[in-house]
Amino acid sequence: MDNLEHNLKLIKDHRIFCFFHGKKAMIKAIYAKQFGKALDYKHISTFNEIINVRKLSKNPLYSKCADKKSVQAYVEKKIGKDYLIPQYLYKKNISINDLESLPNAFVLKTTSGSGFNIVIKDKSKVDLKNICEKMNSYVKIKYGYLWGEFYYNQINNHIIAEKLLTENEVYDYKIHCFRDNKNNLRQIIEVLWGPKSNRHKCMYDTNWQPLKYYFSIPPSKHTFKKPKQLSKLLELSDKLSEDFNYVRVDFYIINEKIYFGELTFVPAAGFGKFNPPKYDQIWGSWISQD
């Protein structure tokens, strides 16, 4: 069973569980399976506890900013449209004619969730009918049931086509932005590069000093040079995160130009492990309690 089939089965199973037991019970059950301990909704303090409880939030900004279409208006208002990846198409269902009207290379995505992207490098060499069938099936999926990120289910899921910026692997700059009870900002930078089968990652502070701990993925020996746009990345992520006590702001840098990737409210679906484990508590202390 490949990863997509596995996730589709989980969505189905979790949806049934949720129907009978409710959202809180579903999140609690998955949390217990991942961490081997109960999630106490009345006493939360660690990073993973805080963001798992966030999954139940009714804050409309979560669904708005998780939507790959509506987030563009949010980003344009905060930092301007120059950082947005151009989008060509926005439809509930697509046809061969829709794809034939697009440039030769593009990326297809659903506006809700992740893992349902199709990269088209040369549309003359692919089966457009098969691609339409896949995307039209993906758009029906209720992604929020995968790990209990229910704000995804509030999105009116559509298919978008956006510009393929490059065929090469790109550096992915993920900036974790924390705000405490006094609205003080703290930022941690996560850099990833390479295919999923051979992913390189390192984490840095804002002075580009490597951290002595890691979150979710162990660090690699790959050396990441400090980007000359670092101060700009920190400035932009500050503006895009100002409405939240925590969010991860993702960017790409391609040919010296910064592009906005996404806003992530629950990284690693709320189940990322820290090494040493004490940083789960430390990261949690950086987040103001709503």
Burial environment of residue 270 by CB neighbours within 10 A (0 to 12, 13 to 18, 19 or more)? buried
- Nearest CA to 160 out of 243, 98, 249 is that of 98
Q: Which ranges of the chain would DSSP assign to H, the alpha helix?
A: 3-21, 23-35, 47-54, 60-66, 70-79, 96-100, 128-138, 230-241, 278-285
CA-closest candidate to residue 215, choices 189, 241, 234, 252: 189
Number of neighbouring beta carbons within 10 Å of residue 14: 20
* CB-facing half-sphere around the CA of 268: CA atoms within 13 A: 17
Q: What is the pTM of this model?
A: 0.94
Instruction: Give the pLDDT score at 1.
Output: 43
Q: Phi first, then psi: give them for residue 45, nearest 5 degrees.
A: -150, -25
Ordered by where they begin, the domains of the chain are 3-43+86-163 (no CATH), 169-285 (3.30.470)
Give me the pLDDT at residue 2, please. Answer: 63
Which residue positions in the chain have pLDDT lower than 50?
1
